[in-house]
Structure 1
Amino acid sequence: MRKIALCCTFCLFTAGAVAAAAANMLLLGAAHSNAGIVAVGERGSILVSTDEGESWRQVAAPTTATLTALSFAPDGERGWAVGHDAIILQTQDGGRTWTQSWQGENLEDSFLDVCAVDATTVLAVGAYGFAMRSDDAGESWHPLSPQDDDSHLNRLTRAPDGRLYLAGERGTLLRSEDAGETWDPVPTPYDGSFYGVLPLQSGALLAHGLRGHAYRSEDDGESWSPVETNSESLLACAMETRTGTVLLAGQARTLLQSKDDAQRFAAPSAVPAPATAFLVETSAGRVLAFGEGGARFLTLANDE
């Protein structure tokens, strides 16, 4: 039986009470807004930090469903969070307050990611091909069909040039050049699950997924080269710091670091929480990991 992406795997491991300090909470997504850093997770948890992740406070949410991801419009005020029970929430004040934007009739549907493409266009994707689109900043939603099958759609990424990349199971990699109106398949040498595509500052792409698989492309996905990770773990998330360090993180205490544009990875001496779902860089250049251990700072090789 297929897993509903990383969040359901995490749910098997966590049983702690929700704590505003974000020390033992399951957190699955985070993003910067005008209010600070906003994180979402289990049981409808929404946390806001106004001091770059040093402390957190919990804000009210109109749901108890697990929230898996969030994204903010360019203004940093309007944002959307998605999760289980086919729920989409919205905020107009940077994440300080939230209301329900939309909920599907089938509560077994789950959203796994959301992307605010621009000021008005928002895409939400999830398990078994479930996807919705709004062209009016969340006032209304309509079904989106990036592809014909029911593969899980795990992660949406917007590149600096506006292109969108969608990663999913069964080797699914899709690309859109028209804000998600149409999608083209990107051939890859891997038929397992991808959990994300990271556009690098150099223009290269890094795709990552199950069992330590990672691939790098220098021609916008026309060809791919395998990247040696020396890992068998699910690589759930990736990010590139402002100084060009590329990070991969995921299950089984996996944290990998590259200093050469994602061509080679090695593990720094410090490791994150047992499972990491998302990474965010603060304005001061520190890296926050979100996952089973709540929100915590990572120590990278250049920090020592």
Structure 2
Amino acid sequence: MKTAVGIGAAALVAFASALAFAPRTPPPLAPTSIGAEKLQFNTLAMAGDRLLAAGAMGEILYSDDQGTHWKAAKLSENRQALLVNMAFSADKKTGIVVGHEGWILRTTDAGSTWQEMSFDKQGSEPLMSIAHLPSGDWVATGAFGRAQISKDGGKTWEKLELPAEVEDKHLNRIVGSENGQEWLIVGERGLILKSQDSGRSWQAQPEFYNGSFYNAMPLRSGGWLVYGMRGNVFVQSADGKQWDKSEVPAPVSFFGHAQEKDGTIVLVGQGSMLGLSDDGGKSFKLERAKGRATLTDIALTGQDKGWISSDAGLQPFPPAAKLAPQSSQGANP
């Protein structure tokens, strides 16, 4: 009996060994996805008809069919650092994206491939905004008053001197008017710097608010809208004088914006909230997009449709099912 059991066990071992080393065709792999609906994205940009998104872990994706399909861009260095803001020049081929650790990447093929121009291996203040000036220079701004300028198309960078009022304040965004004549840098503790000579010189504006501004947008009327933390939105008319506080029904922080063809201003912010204004930014109503994410940016790809980036991935705009305008209790800032 013991002999039979032993022979049977040996046969099983031999069969298992033969099976383990026998050639076989592996099963097909499950379809893979870049996961654009789940990754954290901080910035969206248009390069002609191409839509690009960048964010956490150094991810840069692009889509040539208005967001239906996405491809991963090729980076010369994979630093896995957070990317914060992206911009393109008028040729729609040359672009710069900036992020943490002073990371600067440059593309000359509309975002298919990117080459590293700068990275601080020892760590430093993050860069949070990038802009292309009418002169051809590039300007990057960031935390603790960091500001840099490139005069050779983004290849090399040097310190940009700004007014003393900057001190160590975070410089959250640099934005230009449609004609490129007037520019704003907005930041921490109510800081607004204005240039009226296409970015060649900057002047600090009188303070009227002591909180942080996260972004700004030029108005079609010729004025400006600035916005930031806890629902603080302000409008300045084309005469460049006083700033008037907008009506916002809840203290929602906003981070990105777009403007539809009919003039409707769309702000995106925390708690998946959208701020909508049809009176030039004087007042806003609130609606909620999908989920409860922090919405970071919005880009329109055509016919008032586009995409919203967030810390929970990308989602189409307008949302598939809009809820009724939110009350201050429903905003959940």
Q: So what's the TM-score if we normalise by structure 1? A: 0.88
CA distance in 2, matches of 1:247, 1:146: 31
Q: After superposition, what is the alpha-carbon deviation per residue over 1:117-172, rounded to whole angstroms, capped at 9, x for unaligned?
A: 24731110101011110111012211013233010000111111211111100100
**What residue is the counterpart of 1:5 in the other structure?**
none
**What residue is the counterpart of 2:175 in the other structure?**
157
Task: Look up the equivalent residue of 2:159 and give its one-letter code.
Answer: P
**What residue is the counterpart of 1:45 in the other structure?**
59
CA distance in 1, matches of 2:249, 2:39: 29
**CA-CA distance at 1:188 after TM superposition:** 4.0
Task: Look up the equivalent residue of 2:146 and give its one-letter code.
Answer: F
Task: Look up the equivalent residue of 2:47 and give its one-letter code.
Answer: S
> Alignment partner for residue 76 of structure 1, among 89, 92, 99?
92
CA distance in 2, matches of 1:98, 1:36: 15
CA distance in 1, matches of 2:99, 2:214: 16
CA distance in 2, matches of 1:294, 1:112: 19
Task: Look up the equivalent residue of 1:40 and give its one-letter code.
Answer: A
**What residue is the counterpart of 2:29 in the other structure?**
none
- Within the alignment, does 1:57 sit opposite 2:71 as a pair? yes
Give the structure with higher Rg (CA).
2
Task: Look up the equivalent residue of 1:256 and give its one-letter code.
Answer: G
- Of stretches 206-215 and 230-239 in structure 1, the one that deviates more from structure 2 is 230-239
- Of stretches 111-120 and 167-176 in structure 1, the one that deviates more from structure 2 is 111-120
CA RMSD of aligned residues (A): 2.3
**What residue is the counterpart of 2:83 in the other structure?**
67
**CA-CA distance at 1:179 after TM superposition:** 3.3
**CA-CA distance at 1:19 after TM superposition:** 6.0
Tell me, yes or no, if the aligned pair for 1:154 and 1:194 is still in contact at 8 Å: yes
Shift of the 221–274 alpha-carbon distance from structure 1 to 2, 3 Å rule, reads farther
Tell me, yes or no, if the aligned pair for 1:170 and 1:191 is still in contact at 8 Å: yes
- Within the alignment, does 1:99 sit opposite 2:115 as a pair? yes
For structure 1, list consecutive stretches of 5 or more residues without a partner in the other structure.
Answer: 1-17
Tell me, yes or no, if the aligned pair for 1:21 and 1:56 is still in contact at 8 Å: no
Tell me, yes or no, if the aligned pair for 1:172 and 1:185 is still in contact at 8 Å: yes
- Within the alignment, does 1:23 sit opposite 2:37 as a pair? yes
SS at match of 1:30: strand
CA distance in 2, matches of 1:56, 1:195: 28
CA distance in 1, matches of 2:148, 2:229: 25
CA distance in 1, matches of 2:291, 2:223: 26
Tell me, yes or no, if the aligned pair for 2:188 and 2:211 is still in contact at 8 Å: yes
Task: Look up the equivalent residue of 1:174 and give its one-letter code.
Answer: L
Q: So what's the TM-score if we normalise by structure 2? A: 0.80
Give the helix-richer structure, 1 or 2.
2
**What residue is the counterpart of 2:136 in the other structure?**
120
CA distance in 2, matches of 1:59, 1:175: 35
Instruction: State the aligned residue count.
Output: 287
**CA-CA distance at 1:220 after TM superposition:** 4.9
SS at match of 1:55: coil
SS at match of 2:189: coil
For structure 2, list consecutive stretches of 5 or more residues without a partner in the other structure.
Answer: 1-31, 324-333
- Of stretches 264-273 and 55-64 in structure 1, the one that deviates more from structure 2 is 264-273
> Alignment partner for residue 139 of structure 1, among 155, 173, 180?
155
